[in-house]
Structure 1
Amino acid sequence: MTAERPTLPTDITPETYVGHIRRALQPLADPAAAAQMRAYMRDQFPFLGIPTPARRRALRALPTVPWRDREWVAVAQLLWREPEREYRYAAADLLRKYAARFDATRIAPILALAQSEPWWDTVDSLAVTIGTVIARERKTDADAQACADAWLGHDSPWVRRVAMLHQLGWRLETDEARLFRYARTLAPETDFFIRKAIGWALRDYANWNPDAVSAFLAAHRYSLSALTLREAGRHLQA
């Protein structure tokens, strides 16, 4: 039988918990791997050089903390200040792990993280976390998705990408009309990551309602980009 992880004292703070994360990750740093990771990300960000499986194993070994939501967002905000990208990946993983506990008040600070040195590697995980929160809120608030509607016109393409992707994993709970409206709204954009996001969101829903997505693609094949059509139709029968 696997022994349970110890629980840290109840008076632990987000700052001290981030210290535990630093001590767990820093011994795993690999400068050679860090250089490769940085090159893969177009030399935009520094890295420790820790592959995802090793990073997640190290963090799983940390003691548990009896927090609900506010403290986890604070931990993520602190980790976002660290220069190396792995700390942001750790933050994104923690937010996804505890997303089901968050209420709507946590959406704004998480969306703010998505706008801090944004790239797909952090934005996409945060989009799923935000979507989890919205899905939970939607059970008691019919207007819970209205915030995502506003993001469609945001100046940042990464926030618009969050809007397009926030229903990933919702399966047949997806708001189909909203999904298709977002796709039509963003279709004129030339940004690679927006076009990719439209296709990805449609493909995800096609796993559960292929007929609806096929009909949408057929009706809008001249307004959607080739990239979007290719991504959306990847698993659909010709």
Structure 2
Amino acid sequence: MGTIRFQHLQKTFEEKENPQQAKKMAAYMKHHFDFYGIQTPERRLIYKSLIAEDKKAKIMDWQLLDLAWNSPKRELHYFVCDYLKAMQSRLNYDHVPQLLTYASTNQWWDSIDHFDRILGKIADARIPQLMLDLSVSDDMWMRRIAIDHQLGEKEKTNTQLLETIILNNLGSKEFFINKAIGWSLRDYSKVNPDWVTAFITKNQKLLAPLSIREASKYL
């Protein structure tokens, strides 16, 4: 089933291909990926009914997702991310290995910033330890997932976990790590500015200027 559905999805994307826009999108993503040149609103309309169909049937078409993720076209990777987010309530810890397989390939900030929430929202007591493990990974993008996996949690944020993960990544020279640290602190500052202010003050010598600048936006 997944193969036929993928072929149909791929054909629809090809019919709507915009070479000129594809060049612009590829350039924006530093030429890491090939694009069809389809903008987000139109792209999501293409597979809106497909996702709705699977949600209603309470199924997950992993074969379709695998085929889409292994495509060289970035819009098909975005489809996988949108599909997984739509099916968030059906994801459990047994799916973590497959999700990490996706997150460890075709890596760039745009897909990673989907997987941090997808993994972070899985309701399982083992997720915090998983994130601690990822926070010391040799893979920078896995560490970014760990740092930002609690974005949007507001009062539910586990501050001890947030602090430990950030401390595990202080001193990094990686732009995407320091940006993520700043974002995670900035997001939590919306509900607990005192905690974030105290954290910045305590760790000011180790935090990158970029992290402090991002974290202080709402303080």
Instruction: Please report the TM-score for the alignment, with normalisation by the length of structure 2.
Output: 0.93
Instruction: Please report the TM-score for the alignment, with normalisation by the length of structure 1.
Output: 0.86
1:234 aligns with 2:217: yes
Offset of 1:111 from its aligned partner? Answer: 1.2
Please, what is the CA RMSD of the aligned residues? 1.6
Q: Which AA in structure 1 matches 2:128? A: Q
1:147 aligns with 2:130: yes
Change (3 A) 1:230 1:154: same
Offset of 1:67 from its aligned partner? Answer: 4.7
**Quick one: distance in 2 between partners of 1:186 and 1:16?**
44
Aligned to 2:162: 179
- % identical equivalent positions: 31
Offset of 1:74 from its aligned partner? Answer: 3.6
**Quick one: distance in 1 between partners of 2:30 and 2:141?**
17
1:115 aligns with 2:115: no
Paired residues, number: 217
Deviation digits for residues 16-61 of structure 1 (CA, Å, limit 9, x no counterpart): 3323322332222100000111111112211000011110122214
1:125 aligns with 2:114: yes
Q: Which AA in structure 2 matches 1:91? A: V
- Between stretches 54-63 and 163-172, larger displacement belongs to 54-63
**Quick one: distance in 2 between partners of 1:210 and 1:17?**
48
SS at match of 2:87: helix
The gaps in structure 1 that reach 5 residues or longer are 1-12
Deviation digits for residues 56-83 of structure 1 (CA, Å, limit 9, x no counterpart): 12221446125546x3444322211111
8 Å contact from structure 2 (residues 120, 127) kept in 1: no
1:48 aligns with 2:27: no
**Quick one: distance in 2 between partners of 1:152 and 1:129?**
16
**Quick one: distance in 2 between partners of 1:39 and 1:232?**
29
Aligned to 1:19: 7
Q: Deviating runs (4+, > 4 A) in structure 1?
A: none
The gaps in structure 2 that reach 5 residues or longer are none
1:213 aligns with 2:213: no
